[in-house]
Structure 1
């Protein structure tokens, strides 16, 4: 599911549908200290709104990239503070 990419963790949720991309990125973020970076790969169109909403609720920064020709969108996440750990 995840592998390192430089100093960022990569969470591959391609081929899954809502709510799986958010669940996978949330699980990965929960294990990381604040300031850590991770990348989510997802091709579910619902993730374009779900992932940024999850980030706002949990205090993470989320940058949504453009979808590639195969419909895969890259989401870059910077893990925020204690909000994620309290859940």
Structure 2
């Protein structure tokens, strides 16, 4: 993704670390910036979209390929 501002590689981390690292990264970003999260923990497929629904952020895309989950999140206005 050429317009992705930051990439967070959470591969190999177990729940709840991918979600916690995603939250920390988003807190440090400016509204409108994009964050691409790469995770291998299956719980991320449930946890990250659930968190985004309750937050000011937007889930731009969510894909899974060979046990690798990719989320592109647009940082929202707090």
Output the TM-score relative to the length of structure 2.
0.88
Cα distance, 1:6 vs structure 2: 5.4
Work out the CA distance in 1 between the residues paired with 2:4 and 2:46: 26
C-alpha RMSD of matched pairs (Å)? 1.4
Cα distance, 1:7 vs structure 2: 4.4
Q: Which residue of 2 aligns with 1:21?
A: 18
Correspondent of 1:10 among 3, 7, 28: 7
Correspondent of 1:49 among 46, 49, 52: 46
Q: Is the 8 A contact 2:4 2:36 kept in 1?
A: no
Cα distance, 1:53 vs structure 2: 1.0
Larger RCO, structures 1/2 (Cα 8 Å, 6+ apart): 2
Structure 2: give runs of 5+ residues left out of the alignment: none
Work out the CA distance in 1 between the residues paired with 2:32 and 2:62: 18
Q: Which has the larger radius of gyration?
A: 1
Structure 1: give runs of 5+ residues left out of the alignment: 83-87
Larger strand proportion of the pair: 2
Cα distance, 1:64 vs structure 2: 0.9
